[in-house]
Structure 1
């Protein structure tokens, strides 16, 4: 690639990888950090190694950015690469043609379950990391897990069980798994789907799994692309519901209008029906965005933004075999979150962010939805600040579903500086900001890990 082309395809500052791992202590704080916040905020995202040629913001080893909060202070920031097999130079495919599940970059999400911190990517095994963010190694739960693990598992707030799945390019194409609260893999079963579909997320209710079997499939003709999946109109689009408390329960499928969903907000059971709220892309918006995401380089910065998605609701009636759907809002949003204590149960409030579509020049904002009234309030960040996913952190003794805080990393559009924002979740009002010692590139998903163990 010549110098003129490289300059044209230069990533915007907020997407550019950082070159090293650093640590800083006693970070400056504006406002007042709630003293109840005792733990770590950790966010994951791809970060290319120095000297590599990839110019795509979704490609690269996972990098964790962490901030330790305690007693109203921001004790430290540190960032660490997740050292998977590919980070160490191993190929994703072994000499015998089999796929090495320990090799993919764990660059999408980070969660805490059964005293393990796990960095996740949907095409490989989870990687365990220590409280100081150093890599421990791949985790297959004592040899019980033989498929990839989604980056979007769901923890049942009543049982502590962790529901997840793995999908693949070859059989088994879709496998459902469940960990108990102690971290033991207690159930796995294959789920039949027509082809190798890309399933980024799913939903779980008190008694059901909700599958999203949508028209994105693995295609050998696209192996030269960064992500070898493409839109397949003939595949169809459907949602499936399956009892997770009945071993080998049948899946009931519902055909829906063609679309794609990266991220689910929540689902719950109501009067014998399943209600699913998620961020929906129309076929036109999704295929335009996917053309950008699947390239090995980004388009020029003067290209128009693509991939505007909207909060949408499907209501599935298993007794009648019918489904209805309608939009909940007309603004473009992504990264929906909620109070995880309401996961799979009726939840009045959802949170999302605006201005995240590829190459967007819109003002970023954090939006709070009231799903009971349809109302929404937002906190805008101005034209020069980009925002990531807003993670809900409940108060220790909450007085209501929205009694807590939202945490998100905000980065200057030119990448020069970043802050960890802490907002009151009730009215999306900033209460504190932690100045980070470097610009943190935009990433994907993160978690708050409360009462973190000592040692880092």
Structure 2
């Protein structure tokens, strides 16, 4: 594979991620100061001869790095929230030709709010300083850039006192400091030499971080385990055909569940210069692979094709494995159909696979057909049975995903956060006004909590009246009641991907 095509493949690693959004523009009640980064020009997509929804409206990239202190707040921030709410996403820097750009190849930008003692101390947004971003900003990149360098734009997590921005398909994570400045590529204490993933699974009971990684030139995928020391302790190679994209996976107390989706690498497209050389492959069977966490033989289960997006959680239930997840109908067009981003053939829904290991059978169940994505739980229960789950929906997101030839879908889409009760098969929907897209909800347990849902749900939500974004803090046990607090940010957080609550060390 030619070097240029290879790099394009690596930069496309996050192309199948989907997320909720916060939209709006400038202004705010906090005192803000732009950093030394010069503003960037983002040409209008419509001036280039057609609608590119992934560069407009809620998706419009931020053009400045901002720092604001002592943010204005409506309501009261719980005093036990002591840490940082962080979320990342693609944010094109110095884009010259919008029609030659794919949304998910945008340079990663992290948005963060520092909460402490009932105050919102600061808001910052910062580009991840890969070597390419440093060059665009006319900064000096420290040291030598890794071979597969990219400004990770898909997820950001806290791990053993570090803040890591994540990508998949090749690039190493980037480590950030507490003020969101980029420190260095991170290789897990000099033990990771290969591709990583955007969607890790941390098992708090075992103190292990798990990942399933892929790479376009491999004839396998890899299950990686980082142990309690933070080092790569085990690698299991799992043979697969056609170099599929594996954006996410599932983990239980006993097993790793591999989701082999028929979205596979197209080398001819890569050689021809395709921005996203992954195509829906009707000849590649969709299947689930079940492997013991300690490695060994993989059992494969054929299933009907869907586009598997994100795992809510998975757990063991006797001789069965339960995986709850979000999906979209097949086929899914990662490269899109001329809209500057991916194209879906239907809205995402919340679903469940039940894998019966005794009968060698998989049952698929639709849990909720409301358009929704970005599923999260109380992560203290990762790999164990959970009762509650949280998802988000941003109308502008789904309209962009389903926009073909400029035709906007019907009005079924809404802006909301959803709390699911899996025990009772019920949901609570917290709706927001038109233009108030909600991003991924993150659950934070209350200090001293005993109940699974005793805590807070945090999400960036656009305020169309201000033309800026708020950090909305809800009481999870009073999900549709008055918000505990709305932290008013000084600007707009573009629609993006995933994030985390990082407790103060």
Alignment of 1:421-436 (within 5 A): 421-428=472-479, 429=481, 430-436=483-489
Structure 2 residue 349 is matched with structure 1 residue 313 = no
Structure 2 residue 283 is matched with structure 1 residue 256 = no
- Candidates 75, 81, 89, aligned match of 2:121: 75
Residue 93 of structure 1 corresponds to: none
Q: Which moved more, 1:156-165 or 1:352-361?
A: 352-361
Structure 2 residue 43 is matched with structure 1 residue 43 = no
Structure 2: distance between partners of 1:101 and 1:410: 37
Change (3 A) 1:101 1:159: farther
- Candidates 367, 370, 373, aligned match of 2:424: 373
Kept in 1, the 8 Å contact 2:278–2:335? The answer is no
Structure 2 residue 56 is matched with structure 1 residue 12 = yes
Structure 2: distance between partners of 1:339 and 1:3: 42
Tell me the alpha carbon deviations over residues 259-289 of structure 1, each in whole angstroms, 9 at most, x when there is no partner: 11110111000012100111121215x34xx
Quote the offset at 1:188 in angstroms: 1.1
Quote the offset at 1:187 in angstroms: 0.8
TM-score, structure 1 as length reference? 0.90
Quote the offset at 1:142 in angstroms: 3.2
Residue 206 of structure 1 corresponds to: 253
Change (3 A) 1:298 1:184: closer
TM-score, structure 2 as length reference? 0.81
Tell me the alpha carbon deviations over residues 114-158 of structure 1, each in whole angstroms, 9 at most, x when there is no partner: 111110011211111111111111111233212211110000020
Runs (4+) of structure 1 moved beyond 6 Å? none
Structure 2 residue 167 is matched with structure 1 residue 121 = yes
Structure 1: distance between partners of 2:361 and 2:323: 14
Tell me the alpha carbon deviations over residues 153-204 of structure 1, each in whole angstroms, 9 at most, x when there is no partner: 0000202210012101012531111111231111112111122001000011
Alignment of 1:16-31 (within 5 A): 16-31=60-75
Residue 397 of structure 1 corresponds to: 448
Structure 1: distance between partners of 2:148 and 2:48: 35
Residue 363 of structure 1 corresponds to: 414
Residue 110 of structure 1 corresponds to: 156
Kept in 2, the 8 Å contact 1:14–1:413? The answer is no
Structure 2: distance between partners of 1:277 and 1:298: 26
Tell me the alpha carbon deviations over residues 214-241 of structure 1, each in whole angstroms, 9 at most, x when there is no partner: 1000012333333211100110100111
Structure 2 residue 186 is matched with structure 1 residue 142 = no
- Candidates 221, 225, 228, aligned match of 1:174: 221
The structure showing larger relative contact order (alpha-carbon pairs under 8 Å, at least 6 residues apart) is 2
Structure 2: distance between partners of 1:256 and 1:437: 47
Quote the offset at 1:409 in angstroms: 0.6
Residue 95 of structure 1 corresponds to: none
Gaps of 5+ in 1: 91-98
Residue 438 of structure 1 corresponds to: 491
Structure 2: distance between partners of 1:109 and 1:324: 30
Quote the offset at 1:67 in angstroms: 0.3
Change (3 A) 1:167 1:101: farther
Kept in 1, the 8 Å contact 2:393–2:439? The answer is no
Structure 1: distance between partners of 2:146 and 2:245: 19
Quote the offset at 1:89 in angstroms: 5.0
Gaps of 5+ in 2: 1-42, 137-144, 402-410
Structure 1: distance between partners of 2:49 and 2:471: 31
Kept in 2, the 8 Å contact 1:16–1:415? The answer is no
Question: Secondary structure of the equivalent of 2:291?
Answer: strand
Structure 1: distance between partners of 2:387 and 2:310: 18
Question: Secondary structure of the equivalent of 1:442?
Answer: coil
Kept in 1, the 8 Å contact 2:329–2:345? The answer is no
Change (3 A) 1:159 1:415: farther
Residue 204 of structure 2 corresponds to: 157
